[in-house]
Structure 1
Amino acid sequence: MAKWRGPRAALAVAAGAGVIAGLTLRTAEYPGMLPAGTPDPELGLGLRLVCAAAVLIAATLAYLTFARRQDEPLAMTCLPGLVVTGVVLRHLVVTLPGAARISPAARIVPGAGAWVLLGSGVVMTAAGLAAAFAVRKTA
């Protein structure tokens, strides 16, 4: 399965670039100003930094995959992918509905950044799992 190592690593790096792109986009859309007392529905700075750190880890693991010519480091990219996916799912399931419940007239919906982050996190997880299955097949 060594011939697929490069494409899997490139897919993990592309998913990491997707996470960075998603971090620059809005994660919540709402028309106009929010009423006073409504929590900010955007993804918080701390969670954005966690996602950025996950991308750094995934990129390092992809580099190690090429440097060592082994799939084991790339298999670990499923963990940063799960972190990104978990952060975004929490944002979509807890934060956005919570803010919309406080101010229903605000019409708060997920933004493009949330969907890009979710898709990139899932792809990064899938790339890591594919590498893990490749390692298991060769063992």
Structure 2
Amino acid sequence: MRRGWRIPRAAVAGVAGLGVIAGLTLRTANYPGLLPPGTPDPELDLGLRLVCAAAVLIAVTLAYLTFARRQDEPLALACLPGLVVTGVILRHLVVTLPGVTRLQPAARVVPGAGSWVLLVSGVVMTAAGLAAAFAVRRAA
């Protein structure tokens, strides 16, 4: 039974990584009005996108190691990149967007589809890593 669960957990982490890549290609903010000059762009900036992409690379590597070694230990660490992606997006949702809305309420800045895809993918990656960690703990 344990062996059967290992593959789906690694596959879920890999699919979540693909979700992060998809989320990085989508808009992370929607604003129908024009922002006044000097207002920061509400989209997720390049540095944070690169952090999320690096987290995906780490998570995919851990999922591959799980497949190759047939052990849950590498996948247990996938919760860390998942937490990074989740944290980056929560920061983007909670700090950046309300700040822009205060500057220009007429713009009605709201999270874009990319933000939600990234958030869900980060949470799923975290959950897959935690499930693997609990499996390792139960096996010990």
TM-score interval, normalised by the smaller of the two chains: over 0.9
Structure 1 unaligned runs (5+)?
Answer: none
Residue 19 of structure 1 corresponds to: 20
Q: Give me the whole-angstrom Cα distance separating, in 1, the residues matched to 2:22 and 2:4.
A: 29
Q: Give me the whole-angstrom Cα distance separating, in 1, the residues matched to 2:47 and 2:88.
A: 11
Secondary structure of the equivalent of 1:37? coil
Residue 113 of structure 2 corresponds to: 112
Q: Give the letter for the 1:77 counterpart.
A: A
Residue 9 of structure 1 corresponds to: 10
Residue 66 of structure 1 corresponds to: 67
Question: Offset of 1:32 from its aligned partner?
Answer: 3.8
User: C-alpha offsets along residues 17-50 of structure 1, whole Å, 9 cap, x if unaligned?
Assistant: 0000000000000014211121110000000000
User: C-alpha offsets along residues 77-118 of structure 1, whole Å, 9 cap, x if unaligned?
Assistant: 000000000000000000000111111111100000000000
- Equivalent runs, 1:47-126 vs 2, <5 Å: 47-126=48-127
Question: Offset of 1:69 from its aligned partner?
Answer: 1.1
Secondary structure of the equivalent of 2:32? coil
Q: Give the letter for the 1:88 counterpart.
A: I
Residue 44 of structure 2 corresponds to: 43
Q: 23-32 or 83-92, which moves further after superposition? A: 23-32
Q: Give me the whole-angstrom Cα distance separating, in 2, the residues matched to 1:38 and 1:96.
A: 12
Residue 132 of structure 2 corresponds to: 131
Q: Give me the whole-angstrom Cα distance separating, in 2, the residues matched to 1:54 and 1:97.
A: 26
User: C-alpha offsets along residues 59-85 of structure 1, whole Å, 9 cap, x if unaligned?
Assistant: 000011111111000000000000000
Q: Give me the whole-angstrom Cα distance separating, in 1, the residues matched to 2:102 and 2:38.
A: 12
Q: Give me the whole-angstrom Cα distance separating, in 2, the residues matched to 1:2 and 1:125.
A: 20
Q: Give me the whole-angstrom Cα distance separating, in 1, the residues matched to 2:136 and 2:74.
A: 10
- Following TM superposition, the consecutive aligned residue runs of length 4 or more in structure 1 with deviations greater than 3 angstroms are none
8 Å Cα contact 2:40-2:100 kept in structure 1: yes
Q: Give me the whole-angstrom Cα distance separating, in 2, the residues matched to 1:11 and 1:79.
A: 15
TM-score, normalised via structure 1 length? 0.98
Q: Give me the whole-angstrom Cα distance separating, in 2, the residues matched to 1:87 and 1:50.
A: 8
Q: Give me the whole-angstrom Cα distance separating, in 2, the residues matched to 1:9 and 1:66.
A: 7
TM-score, normalised via structure 2 length? 0.97
Secondary structure of the equivalent of 2:40? coil
Q: Give me the whole-angstrom Cα distance separating, in 2, the residues matched to 1:105 and 1:35.
A: 10
